[in-house]
Structure 1
Amino acid sequence: MCLLGLLVLLFPLLCTSNPKDTFIRSRAAYYGSPDCSRTPEGACGFGEYGRTVNQGNVAGVAGLYRNGSGCGACYQVRCTNQQYCSDDGVNIVATDYGEGDGTDFILSRRAYSKLARPNLAFKLFACSAVDVQYKRISCRYSGNNLMYKVNEHSRYPSYLSILILYAGGQNDITAEDSKQWKPMSREFGAVWDMENPPKGSIHLKLQLSGSAGVNWVQNKNAIPDYWKAGVVYDSTIQLT
């Protein structure tokens, strides 16, 4: 028997309601601790991946978190002080929830330093927060397919919890009901779970919805029967 997990990927209004090159004004701060540690797993559930993905150029987000559907979204962020800030800023991945004083982003120290012109990062670190502009961009993970990690707190065979990694493009992941496919529920952040999954290999079906309409994608590589907690499985899918 095959488990029928349903995940739905929707292009958010943030990406479709604004012109491609429109930046939104906000503010950004940075994590005080060098390793960006907040909670053991972070609000997205990414763990160590949430600190190291994208060469450590990551951020916690507040309003953009959107109850977890914003986990894994990518943004171009640039500060607006022409004297100290670089023109392009930094491309970040949202990997946690983080609130500040009127900020949309709490950047890792590595990402925050890249907002600055060469040798001027110390000027920005002297500020508790800076004015920025940002826009949603496609995530690009060269050489990485979308991956499913079976979380360590999964309990074979009665409880399955998976974490979605390397979700490319401009996609938000949500849950949807279906007559043929059994939906998984969002546990929190980018983590999805299911009680009492059927025995057998596990296929996940993805629905991509955007301006081009709705397309269904199903991975060829199933999560195998006798899956193991802590193991990462390759979906063979590259989202763009």
Structure 2
Amino acid sequence: MEVCYSNLLKETDASIITEGACGFGDLHKTSFGKYSTGLSGMLFNRGSSCGACFEVRCADNMLWCPQRSPSIVLTATDFCPPNYGLPADFGGWCNFPRAHFQMPEAAFSLIAQQKADIVSVQYRRKEGIRFTLKGSAYFMQVLITNVGLDGEIVAVKVKGSRTGWVQMGRNWGQNWQCNTNLAGQPLSFEVTTASSITLASYNVAPPNWKFDQTFLGKQFQH
């Protein structure tokens, strides 16, 4: 795991608890809730890390870290803006190039003593790429999150068992769409990043998939 810093965000600040800069809407309705996190610019990467999953645990502090240092998995839903009026080691926690997580109190308390406010943590990206299916029979939209490497997607294709690869167009953000009816077919996806690396995940969704379901594919290897 890499080493960075994390701080405690009180629940009275609802910027992460309810909505965030990534446009996921009400985070409780979308199941992120207390397991949401804001990222400093170093990790946020101009929004391309939205939806990424990070395993985080308290590190290197016997006073603030509980025994065995349990970890939690957080989803990036917000941006932690820099404050260049304060030094990076005292208040300007999200100043570039510091890697920093801004966490709700409920999540922070699971990995460290609440009164610590800020602790060193270890972290790593988790799991494979996630594909959330939206739309209707002749208008499929796929939200793609938790993308490794640089996280910036430049091309997406989808394939059913009765079709070849169908090029999808970007609707907005990490939402991609096509006008092909793929109902009743297992779905495969091909994702290409800005670094020109392509990864295919075959039969990600079973033939009986439904809209509003999320499926897990492979992950780019670092």
Q: Which residue of 2 aligns with 1:192?
A: 175
Q: Which residue of 2 aligns with 1:139?
A: 127
Residue aligned with 1:132, SS:
strand
Offset from partner CA, 1:139-169 (integer Å, 9 cap, x none): 38xxxx955241xxx6885x6543347x5x9
Offset from partner CA, 1:44-65 (integer Å, 9 cap, x none): 5264368734x84331212212
2: CA distance, partners of 1:74 / 1:185 = 25
For residues 44 and 66 of structure 1, do their structure 2 counterparts lie closer, same or farther at Cα, with a shift above 3 Å needed? farther
Offset from partner CA, 1:201-226 (integer Å, 9 cap, x none): 275513489xxx965223364799xx
Q: Which residue of 2 aligns with 1:108?
A: 104
TM-score, length-normalised on structure 2? 0.59
Using the TM superposition, give the Cα deviation of residue 192 of structure 1 relative to its aligned residue in structure 2, in angstroms. 0.7
For residues 42 and 160 of structure 1, do their structure 2 counterparts lie closer, same or farther at Cα, with a shift above 3 Å needed? farther
Answer yes or no: is the 8 Å Cα contact 2:201–2:218 preserved in 1. Answer: no
Of Structure 1 and Structure 2, the greater strand share is in: 2
What does 1:200-239 align with in structure 2 at a 5 Å threshold? 200-201=181-182, 203-207=187-191, 215-219=199-203, 221=205, 231-233=211-213, 235=215, 237-239=216-218
Structure 2 residue runs without a partner (length 5+): 82-91, 95-99, 158-164
2: CA distance, partners of 1:50 / 1:175 = 29
Offset from partner CA, 1:44-99 (integer Å, 9 cap, x none): 5264368734x843312122122333222213242554312235253232331231
- Matched positions, count: 186
For residues 50 and 216 of structure 1, do their structure 2 counterparts lie closer, same or farther at Cα, with a shift above 3 Å needed? same
For residues 67 and 148 of structure 1, do their structure 2 counterparts lie closer, same or farther at Cα, with a shift above 3 Å needed? same
More relative contact order, 1 or 2 (CA 8 Å, 6+ apart): 1
User: Among 151, 169, 175, which residue is 2:154 paired with?
Assistant: 175
TM-score, length-normalised on structure 1? 0.56
Aligned-residue CA RMSD (Å): 4.2
Q: Runs ≥4 in structure 1, deviation > 6 angstroms?
A: none
Q: Which residue of 2 aligns with 1:48?
A: 27
Using the TM superposition, give the Cα deviation of residue 107 of structure 1 relative to its aligned residue in structure 2, in angstroms. 0.7
